[in-house]
């Protein structure tokens, strides 16, 4: 099989230098392994994704010098693929509708004496809806919003064992899943976990090159691949760029965008060189450091 990887940004904002580093890591892997690089736009969350950001992605990646196979897969054009996956999982009895709000989950967890921080609530989901009977499920599904949760205990009981994943160095890792993760929602329809495993199989992705911040999601994705009878890719998790104070570069932190670098007159070949040769994984500039950036990269 032709080695193949993908760069898969979400159009929820402008690409920043952390995204550029990941894109170059994908391209570098493809070149080193005589493989193909695909571009996928992960735009299923219509509440946050914007068409103008898709156009910006193409502009920024072309400017950066990224080359990819055509056509580009837009997730928003392939909802039927994800619906079939949900239908298959439901037939196997490994997902259930969850009607809980964040507030109700928090209250239930607190009543159990756990009292987590808000950001940990999803991880500590106590299984409130897991035991609802089918009649109640169908009735409540007609009445309001719900999410599809993967019943981890039931899913693990029927999955082929041992459930594990392999990295690019030949190491084997046990797949770790510690909660009934959401894989779909009535309003947005499909989760990141479900859509990416379906896309990777359809696109023939053999190696997934992505940041180490996504390594924690590998276990549930391997479980979904197992349940859906999809092939297992090899995983390559690279390091992440950080600011000098140790903060990970991210859209929500207003990291330096490729659009702003283009406007400053930065030469893409100099940016590529800086990122590729950046062994300490530190981006030394802030979003407003125009003069230092121009002196270094223009």
- Ramachandran sector of residue 123 (left: φ over 0; alpha: ψ -120 to 50; beta: rest): alpha
**Per-residue pLDDT tens digits for 27-85:** 999 999 999 999 999 998 888 899 999 999 999 999 999 999 999 999 999 999 999 99
The pLDDT, as a whole number, for residue 46 is: 82
Give me the pLDDT at residue 131, please: 87
| pLDDT tens digits along 203-231 | 999 999 999 999 999 999 999 999 999 99
Question: What's the pLDDT score for residue 54?
Answer: 97
Q: Please name the residues in contact with 80: beta carbons below 8 A apart, sequence gap of 6 or more.
A: none
Residue pointed to by tokens 């950080």: 242
The full set of domains in the chain, from first to last, is 1-75+241-298 (3.40.50.620), 78-194 (3.90.800.10)
Name the residue among 242, 267, 266, 239 with its Cα closest to residue 255: 242
User: Which residues of the chain carry a pLDDT beneath 50?
Assistant: 108-109, 111-123
Q: Could you write out the DSSP letters of every residue in 21-45? A: HHHHHHHHHHHHTT-EEEEEE----
- CA atoms of 103 and 100, how far apart (whole Å): 8
Q: Tokens for 137?
A: 């499920």
Round the CA-based radius of gyration of the chain to a whole number and report it.
21
Largest CA distance in the chain: 67
pLDDT given at position 104: 64
pTM, two decimals, is: 0.89
Alpha carbon distance, N-terminus to C-terminus of the chain = 41
Rounded to 10 deg, the angle between the 192-202 and 79-91 helix axes is 110
Residues 293 and 282: their CA atoms lie apart, in Å, by 14
């Amino acid at each position: 099989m032709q080695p193949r990887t993908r760069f898969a940004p979400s159009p929820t904002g402008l690409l920043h230098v952390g995204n550029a580093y990941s894109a170059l890591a994908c391209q570098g892997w493809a070149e080193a392994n005589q493989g193909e690089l695909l571009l996928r736009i992960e735009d299923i969350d219509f509440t946050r994704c914007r068409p103008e950001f898709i156009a910006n992605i193409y502009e920024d990646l072309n400017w950066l010098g990224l080359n990819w196979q055509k056509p580009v897969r837009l997730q928003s054009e392939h909802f039927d693929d994800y619906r079939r996956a949900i239908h298959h999982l439901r037939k196997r009895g490994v997902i259930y509708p969850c009607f809980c709000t964040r507030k109700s989950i928090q209250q239930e967890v607190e009543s159990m004496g756990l009292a987590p921080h808000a950001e940990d609530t999803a991880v500590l989901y106590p299984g409130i809806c897991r035991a609802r009977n089918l009649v109640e499920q169908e009735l409540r599904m007609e009445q309001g919003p719900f999410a599809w949760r993967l019943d981890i205990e039931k899913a693990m009981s029927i999955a082929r064992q041992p459930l594990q994943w392999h990295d690019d160095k030949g190491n084997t890792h046990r797949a770790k899943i510690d909660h009934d993760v959401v894989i779909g929602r009535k309003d947005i329809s499909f989760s990141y976990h479900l859509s990416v495993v379906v896309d990777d199989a359809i696109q023939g992705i053999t190696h997934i090159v992505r940041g180490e911040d996504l390594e924690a999601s590998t276990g549930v994705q391997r479980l979904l691949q197992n349940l859906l009878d999809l092939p297992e890719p090899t995983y390559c998790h690279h390091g992440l760029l950080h600011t000098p104070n140790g903060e990970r570069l991210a859209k929500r932190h207003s990291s330096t965008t490729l659009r702003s670098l283009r406007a400053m007159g930065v030469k893409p070949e100099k940016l590529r060189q800086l990122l590729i040769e950046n062994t300490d994984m530190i981006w030394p500039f802030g979003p407003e450091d125009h003069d230092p950036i121009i002196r270094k990269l223009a």
